[in-house]
Structure 1
Amino acid sequence: MNVYVAVVTAVWLMLPAYIPNNAAVLAGGGRPIDGGRTLGGRRMLGDGKTWRGTAVGTAAGALLAVVLNQLNGSAGDLLGVDLPTFPLLVLVALPLGAMLGDIGASFLKRRTGRERGAPFPGVDQLDFVVGALLLALLAAPNWFLDAFTSPVLLVILVLTPLLHVLTNGIAYVIGVKDEPW
């Protein structure tokens, strides 16, 4: 697999996992998942992790996967790449896994004394990727192993932190985020 094919495939596969957290922020507010509960004197997750945000983020990613499935043939022809389609379970697993990965990172942040919005290098950039990949693997192991080849996974692990830093920096500059990470 050449680099171009690996990059295009990686981005295609991860789009349903890349947008859920952004969609969740746009949905904003709502009831916190942790209901205000604490563990060890700290909030379990905090006000930033809400049921509405999780539902909207998951739905947005799943809807994008449905659209990508519809565009698959023409997009593949245009890009010159044989793009995979998302099985039903995977089109939900990728965005839900991304949301669960982010929720897990929030839990880890609280346990390590970090407040909402505090940087957690490495975890901030890959939490949603790990969640998305794990849930997709559980949902459709054979499809996962065919789609997420070693070159594709390598591109995801290198490209995602770069995209994360870039998009957060832009969001900070235009005033959508309070911190650039």
Structure 2
Amino acid sequence: MVVETLAVAVWAMLPAYVPNNAAVLVGGGTPIDAGRSYGGRRLLGDGKTWRGTAGGTLAGVLLAGLLNLGRPAIAGATGLDLPGFPPAAAVALAAGAMAGDILASFLKRRTGRERGASFPGLDQLDFVAAALVLAFLVAPAWAASVFTLPVIVAVVVVTPVLHLSTNAGAYLLGLKEEPY
């Protein structure tokens, strides 16, 4: 039961886990805030771009499609009851992850943190919260059936560990300027 809960948690969140990493790879270009400031600080900063947001969202949606294709074989081989991703849920998870990261950037600027500065807790769960909220709004029946309380608890526990380890790996590969 614990193994299946963890597997479902990670599987169901993969379309939300991938967008921010993909945005680092495809980002650049015009910042979403176009250089605007509020209260003497940038709204978001140069790290939040239209290209990165679109590319990250697309990567999450495409991954959900690939997971749907591989699901029968993986579920059959493992015996796990892994969920499929209806299109609305795939878009909600991926776009929600990007929106959560953008909102966190806005909050960081308001609290005087510069781009890349650490904000423990927010850095690891901003995208999760927004992805889940959007999934429950856009695909409520699907989200309620997949994101049960045990799965949500697993997501909240596992995500910070995955987030910190993948960021550290991206830092070591020279893809990120900070390891968190």
Question: Would you say same fold, with TM above 0.5?
Answer: yes
Query: CA-to-partner distance for each residue in 1:57-78, whole Å, 9 max, x for gaps?
Result: 0000000001111111111111
State how many pairs are aligned. Answer: 180
For residue 67 of structure 1, what is the amino acid of its counterpart?
L
Counterpart of 1:13 in structure 2 is: 12
Deviations 1:56-104 (A, max 9, x none): 0000000000111111111111121111111111111100000000000
Aligned equivalent of 2:84: 85
- Within 5 Å, give how 1:34-113 maps onto structure 2: 34-113=33-112
In structure 2, the partner of 1:179 is 178
Deviation of 1:22 after TM superposition, in Å, equals 0.8
TM score, norm. by length of structure 2: 0.98
Alpha-carbon separation, structure 1, partners of 2:79 and 2:144 = 22
Hey, what's the Cα distance between the residues in 2 that align with 1:28 and 1:84? Answer: 30
DSSP 3-state at the match of 2:128: helix
- Residue 165 of structure 1 and its aligned partner are, at CA, apart by 1.1
Distance between the aligned counterparts of 2:163 and 2:82, measured in 1? 23
Give the C-alpha shift of residue 28 in structure 1: 2.2
Identical-pair percentage = 62
Q: TM-score, normalised by structure 1?
A: 0.97
- The amino acid of 1:132's aligned partner reads A
1:159 alignment partner in structure 2: 158
Whole-Å Cα distance in 2 between the matches of residues 172 and 53 of structure 1?
A: 18
The letter for the 2-side match of 1:34 is D
1:169 corresponds to: 168
Q: Once the 2 structures are TM-superposed, how far is the Cα of residue 169 of structure 1 from its aligned partner?
A: 1.5
Distance 1:125 1:35 in 2: 26
Structure 1 residue runs of 5 or longer lacking an equivalent are none
CA shift, 1:129, in A, is 0.4
Tell me which amino acid in the other structure corresponds to 1:122: G
Distance, in Å, in 1 between the alignment partners of 2:170 and 2:83 is 30
Q: Distance in 2 between matches of 1:47 and 1:172?
A: 18
The letter of the residue matching 2:137 is L
Question: Is the CA contact 2:24–2:175 (under 8 Å) kept in the aligned structure 1?
Answer: no
The code of the aligned residue for 1:37 comes to: R
Give RMSD over aligned pairs: 0.8
How far is 1:142 from its partner? 1.2
Letter in 2 for 1:88: P
What is the distance in 2 between the residues matched to 1:174 and 1:143? 37
Q: Secondary structure at the match of 1:102?
A: helix
Take 2:10 and 2:25, find their aligned partners in 1: how far apart are those partners?
22
Question: What letter matches 2:82 in structure 1?
Answer: L
Amino acid at match of 2:21: N
Q: Which structure 2 segments of 5+ residues have no match? A: none
What letter corresponds to residue 78 of structure 1 in structure 2? A
Alpha-carbon distance in 1 for matches of 2:70, 2:58: 18
- Does the 8 Å CA contact 2:4/2:80 hold for their aligned counterparts? yes
